[in-house]
């Protein structure tokens, strides 16, 4: 085996790449010949002749035609000019403009045949020439690769370097996928695919070559994730929680409803993890209202029956309080002691609580991130559940590890993370999905209305209030911001207080209120002493007031679809029909499309896939925290099928004993070694 082939050498061995180019390439992440060859075009210019009928407005096109008129030249000033000719292309007479190239005039005469490439203006029947050649079209390059470049490096130069690299080292390009996978998916060999990515002859070449690299990229990526998962499992001394199945069954009998099949399935998955000697690292996804809380309660009960304490971590104090109440209702009857710890629990009270926790006099502790602070010590923490905290992860796990405990961890989220993202962003986790709603849920009727229609909407809200129901009104920000021009929650609150004066009571909720104030407002809304709650997005997750049936969302176009869905999920929690009004005057087509989708579906997974499609993966989680992998060729959204295939192949490979021995897997093993996974190192 060649350990040190030319592909691993510096790009500077290629003729023409001097120190300056080398440093530009380095800034693009290209160091070796191999890197250079893996710098693929991001698009191809198409120089094939096409029938103008088939070319869209403003598309680039190459045509061959006969000059029909003397070129006419117009100068605007000394530098700027336009040369116009009439060209007969097939049976179409079109115009061709040459801007700022007056010298072309003397090369052209009537009835010359020329080949022109440029942008097709369908409406004017004209091409703005970008390239031009005397004589008929000659099929030399149909497709010209276009590469991303930087600084003084030109696409042309880069093309030359890549061509040179390819000519010299083509024979050293080795296959890096096992043969059986190449055969199974009829993939192009690496060398051939490489050639066609850079020098395609037909469109289908690129397609086939790309298909191979998409799979390769995904397989390698998934291999790393799966290996990480495997090593994390095998190197983590997790708990093997021997829960009491009989007690668990009895407990389930006491629930006020029958579990859905989906709930049963995920509970089984979680229980299997509890029992296994590995540490659970599982993501539980379920749409708003799919019943995750009861799943959490059952998991906590199971862990308790095995002799362990549990913790439930949530992002806000409001949620912490609600969850404490729900868990007390669900678990209190069975004798579990559920307590709340937030940053508002201070002084003596806190000390006393922590003392009981350490003495195992508390079974379940619910709270915000205060839960895993330095001075919080459990007597035997077995299970940590987090709700709606995408960011819980590395840091928190480190804190727990430093405390010397390795509880099982379950992450719950109602943000229906598209499967595509879940298996990449959370590729090292196991994923359980509740994909079924409890029976009898009504679809929330959703309407998109223009801001001018507010009066009508308020009339509707009033009818609901008269019928004894309650309503949410959501505003994006609490303060006037000229930049964003968004509605001010305080203004809306005042406006609605005036509007409903003497009839209904309006409350205001936002992130700047003191915790006690928030608690009071929530309590009043829960008790129906407030009928309308004007709020910023702090009510987004978890809040549960079943009597609220109407939601009005201001400036709805400013929210992501998934977030709108979360907000909307605050209504439709009782037996009454619920409604959601999206007040929005979106300016873009995408904006309109998004509002329309909201009115069409209540399915969070459909919405999240759409959101991903419309906004792209970077935006989905917010750029900073996305931490999503970047692929050279593959696209997570459009190639998600390949991603799933690669994931299951990677999983099979990692768990097969041949993988660790056979020669044909050595490129894969080498890659894992290089990325540090073999040492059990962490990706993050
Ligand atoms: P989420 O997944 O959004 O956290 P919750 O756990 O708050 O959902 O559940 C929403 C509502 O559905 C709660 O009132 C809960 O009691 C109820 N619920 C949960 N599971 C079932 C079920 N299997 N059948 C009927 N109602 C259920
Ligand atoms: Mg919930």
Closest ligand 1 atom to 296 CA: 6
For the chain, the average pLDDT equals 86
- CA–centroid distance, residue 596 to ligand 2 (Å): 26
| pLDDT tens-digit map of 48-81 | 788 888 888 888 888 999 999 988 999 988 889 9
Helix H or strand E encompassing 310: strand 309-313
Of 309, 339, 336, the closest CA to residue 251 belongs to: 336
The two three-digit tokens of residue 39, written as one number: 């710098």
Chain Cα centroid distance, residue 352: 43
| pLDDT tens-digit map of 87-96 | 999 889 999 9
Classify the C-alpha dihedral 232-233-238-243 as positive or negative. Answer: positive
Residue nearest to atom 15 of ligand 1 (CA): 291
Judged against a pLDDT cut of 80, whether residue 235 lies above it is answered with no
- CA–centroid distance, residue 387 to ligand 2 (Å): 7
Does residue 321 contact residue 340 with C-beta atoms inside 8 Å?
yes
Residue nearest to atom 23 of ligand 1 (CA): 259
| pLDDT tens-digit map of 544-584 | 788 999 999 998 988 888 788 888 988 988 888 999 999 99
Beta-strand relationship, 364-367 and 338-341: parallel
Mean pLDDT of 347-370: 93
- The pTM of the full predicted model, rounded to 2 decimals, is 0.65
| Spatial CB neighbours of 108, under 8 Å, sequence gap ≥ 6 | 67, 71, 85, 114
Judged against a pLDDT cut of 60, whether residue 423 lies above it is answered with yes
More confident residue, 549 or 622: 549
* Confidence band for 395, pLDDT divided at 50, 70 and 90: low
| pLDDT tens-digit map of 157-180 | 999 999 999 999 999 999 999 999
Closest ligand 1 atom to 546 CA: 14
Residue list, ligand 1 pocket, CB within 6 Å:
257, 259-260, 263, 286, 288-294, 414, 438, 544
Q: Is 335 helix (H, G, I), strand (E, B) or coil?
A: coil
Residue nearest to atom 14 of ligand 1 (CA): 573
Q: How far apart are CA 19 and CA 258, in angstroms?
A: 71
Q: How far apart are CA 334 and CA 669, in angstroms?
A: 51
pLDDT at site 598:
94
| pLDDT tens-digit map of 601-610 | 988 888 877 8
Judged against a pLDDT cut of 70, whether residue 677 lies above it is answered with no
Q: Which of 447-456, 539-548, 671-680 has the highest mean pLDDT?
A: 447-456
Mean pLDDT of 455-481: 87
| pLDDT tens-digit map of 371-389 | 877 788 999 999 999 887 6
pLDDT at site 392:
52
Residue to substitute in 293, 441, 566 for testing ligand 1 pocket (most ligand atoms within 8 angstroms of CB): 293
Q: Which of 396-405, 413-422, 636-645 has the highest mean pLDDT?
A: 636-645
The two three-digit tokens of residue 316, written as one number: 């806000």
pLDDT at site 317:
80
Is 452 exposed, middle or buried, given 0-12, 13-18 or 19+ CB atoms closer than 10 A? exposed
- CA–centroid distance, residue 344 to ligand 1 (Å): 28
Judged against a pLDDT cut of 70, whether residue 631 lies above it is answered with yes
- CA–centroid distance, residue 289 to ligand 1 (Å): 5
b/e sequence 68-89, b meaning 16+ C-beta within 10 Å: eeebeeeeeeeeebbbebbbeb
Mean pLDDT of 105-128: 91
| Residue-level length of the chain | 684
The residues that bridge with 508 in the sheet, in sequence order, are 534
Residue to substitute in 253, 264, 289 for testing ligand 1 pocket (most ligand atoms within 8 angstroms of CB): 289
Q: Is 597 helix (H, G, I), strand (E, B) or coil?
A: helix
- CA–centroid distance, residue 571 to ligand 1 (Å): 13
Judged against a pLDDT cut of 60, whether residue 391 lies above it is answered with no
Residue to substitute in 253, 261, 294, 411 for testing ligand 1 pocket (most ligand atoms within 8 angstroms of CB): 294
Rg (CA), the chain: 32
pLDDT at site 537:
76
Q: How far apart are CA 438 and CA 292, in angstroms?
A: 11
DSSP code string of 255-306:
SSSPPPHHHHHHHHHHHHHHHSSSPPEEEEEE-TTS-HHHHHHHHHHHHHHT
* Confidence band for 397, pLDDT divided at 50, 70 and 90: low
- CA–centroid distance, residue 294 to ligand 2 (Å): 9
Angle between helices 589-600 and 604-620 (to 10 degrees): 150
**How big is the CA angle at 483 (ends 481 and 488), to the nearest 5 degrees?**
30
Closest ligand 1 atom to 259 CA: 23
Mean pLDDT of 20-49: 90
The residues that bridge with 309 in the sheet, in sequence order, are 381
* Confidence band for 475, pLDDT divided at 50, 70 and 90: confident
- CA–centroid distance, residue 393 to ligand 1 (Å): 26
Residue to substitute in 289, 291, 385, 566 for testing ligand 1 pocket (most ligand atoms within 8 angstroms of CB): 291
């Amino acid at each position: 085996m060649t350990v040190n082939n030319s592909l691993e050498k510096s790009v500077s061995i290629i003729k023409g790449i001097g120190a300056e180019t080398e440093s530009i390439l380095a800034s693009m992440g290209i160091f070796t010949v191999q890197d250079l060859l893996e710098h693929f075009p991001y698009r191809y210019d198409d120089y094939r002749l096409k029938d103008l009928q088939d070319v869209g407005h403003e598309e680039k096109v190459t045509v061959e035609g006969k000059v029909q008129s003397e070129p006419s030249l117009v100068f605007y000033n000394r530098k700027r000019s336009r040369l116009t000719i009439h060209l007969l292309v097939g049976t179409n007479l079109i115009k061709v403009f040459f801007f700022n190239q007056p010298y072309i005039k003397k090369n052209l005469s009537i009835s010359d045949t020329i080949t022109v490439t440029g942008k097709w203006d369908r409406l004017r029947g004209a091409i703005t020439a970008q390239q031009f050649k005397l004589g008929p079209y000659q099929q030399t390059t149909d497709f010209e690769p276009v590469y991303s470049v930087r600084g003084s490096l030109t696409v042309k130069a880069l093309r030359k370097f890549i061509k040179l690299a390819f000519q010299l080292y083509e024979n050293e390009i080795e296959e890096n996928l096992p043969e059986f996978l190449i055969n199974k998916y009829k993939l192009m060999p690496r060398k051939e695919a490489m050639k066609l990515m850079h020098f395609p002859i037909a469109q289908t070449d690129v397609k086939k070559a790309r298909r191979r690299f998409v799979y390769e990229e995904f397989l390698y990526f998934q291999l790393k994730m799966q290996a990480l998962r495997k090593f994390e499992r095998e190197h983590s001394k997790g708990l093997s929680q021997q829960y009491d199945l009989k007690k668990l069954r009895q407990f389930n009998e006491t629930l006020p409803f029958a579990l859905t099949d989906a709930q049963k399935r995920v509970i089984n998955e979680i229980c299997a993890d509890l029992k296994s000697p590995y540490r659970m690292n599982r993501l539980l996804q379920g749409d708003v209202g799919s019943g995750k809380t009861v799943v959490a309660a059952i998991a906590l009960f199971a862990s308790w029956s095995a002799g362990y304490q549990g913790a439930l971590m949530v992002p806000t104090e409001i949620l912490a309080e609600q969850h404490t109440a729900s868990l007390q209702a669900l678990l209190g009857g069975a004798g579990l002691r559920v307590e709340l710890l937030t940053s508002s629990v201070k002084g003596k009270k806190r000390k006393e609580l922590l003392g009981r926790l350490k003495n195992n006099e508390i079974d379940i502790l619910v709270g915000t991130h205060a839960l895993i602070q330095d001075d919080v010590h459990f007597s035997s923490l077995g299970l940590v559940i987090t709700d709606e905290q995408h960011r819980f992860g590395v840091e928190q796990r480190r804190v727990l590890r430093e405390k010397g405990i390795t509880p099982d961890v379950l992450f719950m989220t109602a943000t229906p993370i598209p499967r595509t993202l879940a298996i990449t962003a959370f590729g090292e986790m196991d994923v359980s999905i509740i994909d079924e709603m409890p029976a009898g849920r009504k679809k929330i009727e959703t309407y998109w209305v223009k801001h001018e229609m507010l009066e009508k909407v308020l009339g509707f809200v009033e009818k609901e209030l008269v019928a004894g129901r309650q309503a949410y009104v959501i505003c994006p920000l609490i303060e006037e911001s000229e930049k964003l021009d968004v509605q001010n929650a305080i203004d809306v609150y005042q406006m609605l207080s005036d509007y409903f004066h003497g009839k209904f009571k309006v409350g205001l909720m936002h992130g700047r209120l003191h915790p006690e104030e928030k608690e009071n407002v929530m309590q009043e809304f829960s008790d129906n002493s407030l009928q309308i709650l004007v709020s910023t997005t702090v009510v987004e997750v978890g809040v549960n007031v079943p009597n609220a049936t109407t939601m009005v969302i201001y400036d709805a176009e400013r929210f992501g679809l998934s977030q709108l869905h979360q907000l909307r999920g605050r209504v439709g929690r009782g037996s009454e029909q619920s409604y959601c009004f999206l007040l929005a005057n979106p300016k873009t087509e995408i904006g309109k499309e998004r509002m329309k989708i909201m009115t069409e579906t209540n399915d969070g997974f459909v919405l999240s896939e759409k959101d991903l499609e419309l906004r792209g993966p970077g935006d989905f989680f917010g750029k900073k925290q996305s931490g999503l992998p970047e692929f050279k060729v593959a696209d997570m959204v459009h190639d998600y099928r390949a991603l799933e295939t690669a994931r299951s192949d990677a999983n099979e490979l990692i768990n097969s004993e041949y993988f660790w021995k056979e020669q044909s897997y050595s490129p894969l093993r080498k890659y894992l070694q290089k990325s540090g996974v073999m040492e059990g190192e962490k990706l993050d």
